[in-house]
């Protein structure tokens, strides 16, 4: 039982590290990429993250990515007539 609990804690810690890494990748891409490339990178990160994060963490990351995309669109409205 103790080993299982230790394993569970290790998995949770690993998932937290992966979630943080995904958020950092999104932030880095936001700073260094054009809008279209940034959106594509976000989708790639989310697709890969879904494989390794818990459903709750994936939902958190999805909201995080959505917020960053909205921020980038507000700051850089390159095509105001297009959505």
Domain locations in the chain? 2-75
Q: Answer whether 52's CB lies under 8 Å from 15's CB.
A: yes
State what percent of residues in the chain have pLDDT above 70. 88
Mean pLDDT computed over every residue of the chain: 88
Q: Answer whether 64's CB lies under 8 Å from 45's CB.
A: no
Instruction: Please tell me the pTM assigned to this model.
Output: 0.81
Q: Give yes or no for residue 81 having a pLDDT over 80.
A: no
Q: Give yes or no for residue 48 having a pLDDT over 80.
A: yes
Q: What is the mean pLDDT of residues 33-55?
A: 94
1-5, 21-25, 79-83: least confidently modelled range: 79-83
Q: How far apart, in whole angstroms, are the C-alpha atoms of residue 49 and residue 57?
A: 9
Q: Give yes or no for residue 83 having a pLDDT over 60.
A: no
Query: What's the pLDDT score for residue 77?
Result: 64
Q: Answer whether 45's CB lies under 8 Å from 83's CB.
A: no
């Amino acid at each position: 039982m103790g080993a299982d609990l230790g394993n569970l804690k290790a998995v949770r810690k690993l998932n937290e590290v992966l979630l943080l890494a995904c958020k950092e990748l999104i932030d880095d891409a936001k700073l260094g990429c054009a809008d279209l490339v940034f959106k594509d990178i976000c989708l790639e990160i989310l697709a890969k993250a879904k494989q390794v994060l818990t459903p709750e963490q994936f939902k958190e990351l999805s909201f995080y990515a959505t917020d960053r995309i909205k921020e980038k669109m507000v700051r850089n409205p390159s095509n105001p007539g297009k959505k």
